[in-house]
Structure 1
């Protein structure tokens, strides 16, 4: 993807029974595959497939996580040329997912396990490095920052440098400031407003804002009511340099993303008729 001329729309498929948003509606294999392919039809450039939530809860074993994600990746890869990422922090799961057809490893732990970098480097896959402080499935109460954006940017720069030291090319690194991950609503709003400081690090920047709690708390809305706020947050991040947005409602996000691309001069309008002809229809 040419991120100088494109914004990638990433769809979310969680093969988990306790996903914070869909509450297990895509847990069954056929439902997960169908959701991924429906997202492609709705305009997704990229599908992110996960089998173990980051949020606090019961640990999902390696074998269980493999059983959840690998069959979905195999089926989607066979049916579509969409970019596939696996949402995992485990080297074993990353390796199997890449073999199955994933081109990206989406690590929400910020490369806490450096063995993951070895897998990515050997495979030639891409790596998403996300800012987070807690270990997966654990709480991190009352996060404190002096300057959340500056501290997140420093963290991402250091982790990107570590990834490169471990053999991952700079052109294979994507960064994500981790909205809501060990951050309160004021922190996530600040990251949205100053997303350009994250993008200025020089790596393609991902904004994972869809339906998150900072939107719900800002607008006093439950999870199923947050689509409009999610679209607004995504557009703000794009205008501030985000080049990948991770969204639940792909059809709605597709319109918002493509319109923003056209406004930025990345793509022409679908057609031109208004005040173009001698008679304005």
Structure 2
């Protein structure tokens, strides 16, 4: 069959335009894959709110005993890559609020994006740099960030009050300046969520953030009226359904208020998960790619 001139022109134009008409592919993500088959293949038991709220299957025998060579102490080797330690170092940053001890993974400046992880009570920067515990999830986070041209900071938070919030606000400003105002994500776990709550009230710090992730955090009733809420800052919560420290239902209620107000927000609930489950099970690649948009 012969093709007319008109049909040829249409075909030629389609060949040029077609790639741009396709949905964004995984290759367009800011954060590329790293061991996705081991960390991202999670079973969704329930989904609602257009996919913003999901209940994910969690099984202790599979996700701890089957994943660790020494349960809760050492993950199996195939879950980690220690090459990332080549771009890791400890620093003491001379911030306006005073010296702050951090672990840094990735380049010191010009990074494509920054992730800052805040530990909970009793922790320090070593927790967020731990390669072999927590099912290797911090090792994955470090590799995801470094391989995608980003920088990861794990600071030692000196207190979870106004002074601690001021320290992290200064670190956010430092990371933003070092990167040339590129995206900064703040992730807070457990009691570290007090820092995320404090930052949410700081309009200047919020203006430098691309989003927040709150893992097993304390519900903050003031969050829906915060500067972060007014700025429509994206927030992703992850929580265990059997969290005995901070009840999942209370955090879900905060999510609902934010969502009803039109804020971009997501929630992952790990069915039967405990307080520590989000640190082990949060799919960092999905979270970061949604927050850095």
State the TM-score, normalized to the length of structure 2.
0.40
Taking structure 1 as the reference length, what is the TM-score of the superposition? Answer: 0.42
The structure whose residues are more often strand, as a share, is 2
